[in-house]
Structure 1
């Protein structure tokens, strides 16, 4: 797989070392958090998303929970698996539609420094802390992350790089007990009945739910897309219980009435990407989102779990204890965490996020020096040593020129 990471690359232009431990005492906290957009991928022949979408609802079950292993294949990355030519374009489409009612919103005025998905940040944390012992038992993987510079000279757009071989491998392997537990403990979203351009009814099943948030961290402004596992079923505030139930009922009726019209489903500036959308879902309050993790015998690898939780700014985390009994697997305990209960873990791992920001700043300086809006760079790390920056000779399909100009 290492050789495939170098496809389409030419010469090395720079090397980046893992940063040394920082003496900066700046508080590692997220400020100015705002959700800018969200969507579900839909199972369809053409790349289609539902905006604003909705995550599946968590459903309580009595313990122990038997984890059934015959629940199908995993869905690794919806944008890649659906051969979406521009994997970041759905994010911009979701933002544009979600913010369409606000005449004062302009993405260019958000002053974004880093555009990325959460997975890229997690990989860069592995590199940034490769010279320390902070990662615990977490095993870092080699990676390649391609970077574009927006015409404003400020915004660095990071695109996850996956080879075709790795995509096939991911789709052929065992789904994993984490995903099995997630499927068993969340309610499947209803199928959307939509009318296509010739008036025939088509059935679209929502799958992964993604949320795009903007926040400030250690002097940089991030635009981060991450997958959300589930949402709590209750309202965000006790006195809103009745209205929330009405909203959910309205949502069910809206699903039955959803339409997908060729004239309005695809925004004109995104026709080259082939991504279309249907209006479906609701704007979910921040405090209802939830991540779900499974820990064998209750041993949580916080070095891996906490960065994922923090970087997505998901407020709730459920950790299930998996126990094997007579070759069968069960969930025997379920613990719920929030930001208050994870304060100690945050203090332990704050240095990792300082190192991450230091690496991102160095990557952007490298991109500003050796790249441009028309010359992306690839950052490659092989599990040890420095991270190398390469010029990309054979350009892939990242974020379109029109997309870059929005920043």
Structure 2
């Protein structure tokens, strides 16, 4: 159990401001009990304790801090005397918005059914590859990304430092806050610039650390409330994270998750006007080629080698004119008549995935509770981050001896082996969602889960779209070409159920036989 310094015999309800009534005042308690009898709502007192990250799977980093911030982290560790009361860090307190009147329940998948969805495919990550990256540029008129960008460089201080606790505005989703029209579009535009060799048919699932992490929490039976949109476009299945509003903020986030990295990393001169380094990696998991976007906290210069731009990093050639090639589009196109332009600029330098790190800060008391990198391996596994930095503090004072840089590679590999059963269930869920997408109306739906409940599949609102018009045309045309190619090779896949103008079905079996013989060890 987490330790607290002082007893808290009487705390206000999580739903009630302390200024409204005093629960330690007997007269107020009597009044409150009368209100309980006269209403159908029952309020309970909730004592919030500082709980390690492992029980807070929703305490994610994919948050933009708002004006003046230089990185996209959300709140991290709470102060010893002020527990982290972030709504987002406590999945039990997250409430999903009401469904639209047009949304209907299509299917419910309880955890007990996940084991029956196993496919027999390898439930391990193989063929890991860095694909593309970008930074969000701040201060411009239009939303702008810099490709390939560059993460901040680790440059720790050599002496003890006392820092001010974080304060400011925090957004849950950095990409949604910057570009709400199509949050996945920036990552796709970055791929267009950097990897014209990748074809649309290479991408079977495109998601982010949040959506994949949500499904992982489900198969691990962790408490986590979430929702995201799913749409099959051409050969690709897109997972689109959803928040209640694009610029939804977090309240009462405390700790040093911004202050510490700000004091111990630097943004180099080619990216000084940017924030939030985003990376796209690809790997094969359960027979599916998955592309995952996530945010990086920074990189270790001693593992980066010669960080230098190459022709492929900042190429002007956007690739072939063949519509199945991803480089066929120009940049900065208006997504729709009502959306803003997404501006793409080329700057920054390639940094290898082997140099990336994830960073957490914790009170020194957590060190005695044996908080270590092992508590974060599930997250490191999803985005394949090989290095982990954990910094312990005493009332905001960080001693260099309490800052630990950890090579987490062997730990991630062992975690994957130890959780093979859960990961096999995850693979089955991914295949299930892919199968559903080709049968439901308009090939799209919404996934929801509350706390530790089942996955619930609802029809999607008509206005939801994963891609803007020009990218949709590219994906649709590539999907038609892919179907034609498969049929010419002898009908390796059955597309007899194609509807809606030839929308292709699941193409998972296309690459199932191409699994690598060797395990890719990220570290």
Tell me how far apart the structure 1 counterparts of residues 102 and 349 of structure 2 sit (CA, whole Å). Answer: 42
Q: Tell me the residue number matched to 2:104.
A: 11
Give 1:23 shift. Answer: 8.9
Alignment of 1:4-403 (within 5 A): 4-7=97-100, 9-18=102-111, 19-20=114-115, 28-43=123-138, 44-62=140-158, 64-70=160-166, 72-100=168-196, 105-110=197-202, 112-130=203-221, 140-152=223-235, 155-164=236-245, 167-170=247-250, 172-174=251-253, 176-190=255-269, 205-234=273-302, 236-237=304-305, 240=306, 244=307, 247=308, 266-268=331-333, 270=335, 273=339, 274-296=341-363, 297-298=366-367, 299-300=370-371, 305-320=376-391, 322-324=392-394, 327-330=395-398, 332-373=402-443, 376-403=444-471
CA distance in 1, matches of 2:431, 2:377: 22
CA contact (8 A) 2:265 2:298 kept: yes
Task: Write the distance in 1 (CA, Å) between the matches of 2:254 and 2:342.
Answer: 27
1:401 to partner: Cα distance: 4.4
**Structure 1 residue 398, shift from structure 2 partner:** 2.7
Instruction: Give the TM-score of the pair, scaled to structure 2.
Output: 0.61
- State the Cα distance separating 1:221 from its structure 2 match: 1.1
Q: Does structure 1 retain, via aligned residues, the 8 Å contact 2:151–2:267? A: no
Task: Report the CA distance between 1:121 and its aligned residue.
Answer: 0.8
Number of residue pairs aligned between Structure 1 and Structure 2: 354
User: In the alignment, is the contact (CA less than 8 A) between 1:115 and 1:223 conserved in 2?
Assistant: yes
**CA distance in structure 2 between the aligned counterparts of 1:8 and 1:337, rounded to whole angstroms:** 49
In our comparison, the structure showing a higher alpha carbon Rg is 2
- CA distance, structure 2, for counterparts of residue 339 and residue 28 of structure 1: 18
Per-residue deviation at 1:215? 0.8
- Report the aligned-residue RMSD: 3.1
- Confirm or deny: 8 A CA contact 2:129 2:282 kept in the other structure: yes
The CA distance in 2 between the partners of 1:381 and 1:23, in whole Å, is: 20
- Report the Cα offset of residue 315 of structure 1: 2.0
> What secondary structure sits across from 1:163 in the alignment?
coil
Change (3 A) 1:9 1:349: farther
Post-superposition CA distance 1:174-194 (Å, at most 9, x none) = 3642233222221134476xx
TM-score for the superposition, normalised by structure 1? 0.77
- CA distance in structure 1 between the aligned counterparts of 2:204 and 2:330, rounded to whole angstroms: 30
SS at match of 1:283: coil
Measure the CA separation in 2 of the matches of 1:148 and 1:219: 19
Gaps of 5+ in 1: 193-203, 255-263
Aligned equivalents of 1:355, 1:54: Cα separation in 2: 35
Kindly indicate whether the alpha-carbon contact (under 8 Å) linking 1:211 and 1:228 is maintained by their aligned counterparts in 2: yes
Q: Note the alpha carbon deviations across 1:232-278, whole angstroms, 9 max, x for none.
A: 123644xx5xxx5xx49x9xxx9xxxxxxxxx994447576521111
Gaps of 5+ in 2: 1-93, 315-328, 479-523
How far did residue 72 of structure 1 move? 4.0
Post-superposition offset of 1:160: 0.2
Distance 1:167 1:349 in 2: 35
Assess, with a 3 A threshold, how the Cα gap between structure 1 residues 22 and 388 changes in structure 2: closer, same or farther.
closer
Within 2, Cα distance between the matches of 1:57 and 1:335? 14
Conserved 8 A contact 2:331-2:344? yes
Change (3 A) 1:207 1:8: farther
Change (3 A) 1:46 1:368: same
| Distance in 2 of aligned mates of 1:328 and 1:339 | 29
Q: RCO higher in 1 or 2 (8 Å CA, sep ≥ 6)?
A: 1
| Alignment CA distance shift 1:169-1:304 (3 Å) | farther
What is the rounded CA distance, in whole Å, between the counterparts of 2:176 and 2:200 in structure 1?
A: 27
Asked if 2 retains the 8 angstrom alpha-carbon contact of 1:214 and 1:223, the reply is yes
Choose 355-364 or 294-303, whichever is displaced more.
294-303
SS in structure 2 at match of 1:395 = coil
